[in-house]
Chain A
Amino acid sequence: MKAQLRTRVTTGIGIFYLSSILFFLYAPILVMAAMSFNASEFYQLPFQFSTQWYERMWENEAILSAAWRSIWIAIVTTVFATALGTAASVALWRYDFPGKRILQVLLFPPIAIPWLITGTAMLIFFFGVGIGRGTPAVILGHVALALPYVIVVVTARLATFDRTLEEAARSLGARPWMVTRRVMLPWIAPGVIAGALFAFAVSFDQFVISYFLSEPGDSTLPVLIYTAIRKGFTPEINAISTIIIAVSMVVMLTAARFTKFGGEK
């Protein structure tokens, strides 16, 4: 009886602790979202509901063009990173060859080295070889950052693939390409979709690399927000920031449905 009560109390404390953490994680985001609906330009309370900042944002050419550029870059990045990443994952999974271990280790630098270092290195190199700054440079950088994520996610899915299925298809006379297209690809599809969503999120949220690689006046949304924050911002920035958070959370929740965190195993 006493032990039961004690378990209850500790569970209660645990749930309270977890709730405090969730409060800490979400409160500032919710405050920011609420302030984007507040009429006062100087974030004054009491709160007065208004959608004027969203209307202003909608009329702000700089924000809109940066938003389109961000979406566009994220889509191109997703296409390249998913295609190249899936191909590489299949090869890493299917074949054994000398140097495979090194290739796997080489996936970590883009993730593990601080983006400040990678970003400034890219700036130097792209200038040196004549690519310079601008959208092509940004896409080059984003794909490189997204590739390892796609490979990790797709490889995790491939690990659950039963190789005997391939053998069965082959013994029934299917050509290698047929086996890949009709047996393996359908199986790894959820992993590929999740990888693509990860790639989209990596690109859409990327700030550091884009900051060093974009042409002034030709920036992505996060770069525009950073510049605005440093110049002194208005709640228009809250409005677009709220939309960004909403978009990336929806993308990641969708990705989670396709990985082991939820939905089918």
Chain B
Amino acid sequence: MSGGINIARTDKLRAFALLSPAYLWLTLAVFLPLSAMAFFSFLTEVPFGDAEWSVTLTNYSAFFESSTFSRLLLKSVMLGVKVTALCVLIGFPCAWVLAKMIKGRAREALFLMVILPFWSNSLVRIFSWAIVLRGNGVLDKFVNAIWPWDVKVNLLFSEWAIVIGLVHSYLPYVILTSYLALQAIDDSLIEAARSLGAKWWTILWRIVLPLSAPGLLAGAVLVFVPVVGSFMEPRILGGRMGTYYGTLIEDQFVAVFNWPLGAALSFILLAVVLIILAVASPILKRAQT
């Protein structure tokens, strides 16, 4: 009997030895910083050196009193909604084509091609859009070549440029999750519905969408959350138009050096993100299985 307990104990020790380095690292580099940020957001000054600091709520009241901050947060949330909606509308049909219309090795290759840009440098991809969209740029030349009238196409430094760049960045996410969900739907189910006389929209609405909803929603959440916190994309593609909640936070840390306010703004964003993830988590869990 004591032997069994001993084995259990060595197992526990082994598990602890194997797990602790990774989780200590995560604690040091992610969980402690997030807690430190929460603490900082209640201070008047950064507590380094001999700076005078005290506990305060002003950083948070600043958010609720000034309409600028909440307006920017709303602007970022709206950007997230637009980009997510476009990604879903464009990506879901694409996943359908991949999962149900193309077969065999071609499907694997095409799927990899769709996913590949997602795993390449996102900053560089945003930069490539700046070159394409600028006035007198490639898009301008392209449109003028096929359009008989002379038009000026200069989308750079507009909200459109930001939306295009972000859709380009996150579209593969939605395609990936929808593809995995659609692949799990049995073809014979659709065949059966069709042979019973169901029209394509009935099949879509009553069979395909309900069955693939978890995957589709998982993709939507995975797009929405980073877009609300984006700052590099609005900066590069939006220029002076590109003031969003993310760029506001960036400014507090690299330009204005008001770290406590930056921490409070970051924490409010984190709260928004966590609420979204909490609401979506039952759905995300279903998507996993």
Contact = CB atoms under 8 A, between A and B. Distances in A.
Interface of A: 10-11, 14-15, 17-18, 21-22, 24-29, 31-32, 35, 43, 45, 80, 83-85, 87-88, 90-92, 94-95, 97, 103, 106-107, 109-110, 112-118, 120-128, 140-141, 143-144, 147, 151, 201, 204-205, 207-208, 211-212, 222, 225-226, 229-230, 233, 237-238, 241, 244-245, 248-249, 252-253, 256, 261-262
Contacts of A118: 30, 33-34
B21 to A, nearest CB: 5
B127 A15 contact: no
B273 A124 contact: no
Interface in B88-110: 90, 93-94, 96-98, 101-102, 108, 110
A14 B97 contact: yes
Contact of B19 (A14, A24, A103, A122): A103
Contact of B168 (A28, A207, A225): A28
B249 A120 contact: yes
Given A17-B97, A114-B269, A121 B15 contact: no
B122 interface: yes
B26 A147 contact: yes
Given A141-B29, A252-B119, A124 B229 contact: no
Contacts of B69: none
B141 A261 contact: no
A18 B110 contact: yes
Given A114-B226, A125-B33, A205-B122, A32 B131 contact: yes
B74 interface: no
The interface size bin for chain B is: 35 or more
Contact of A229 (B110, B132, B236): B236
A14 B100 CA distance: 10
20 contacts: A21-B171, A22-B113, A35-B138, A84-B25, A95-B14, A97-B12, A114-B230, A115-B229, A116-B229, A121-B30, A122-B29, A124-B36, A124-B37, A126-B33, A144-B26, A208-B232, A225-B124, A237-B127, A244-B124, A253-B112
Contacts of B226: 114-115
B127 A25 contact: no
A113 B11 contact: no
Given A120-B263, A127-B48, A22 B114 contact: yes
Given A26-B117, A97-B12, A261-B108, A17 B26 contact: no
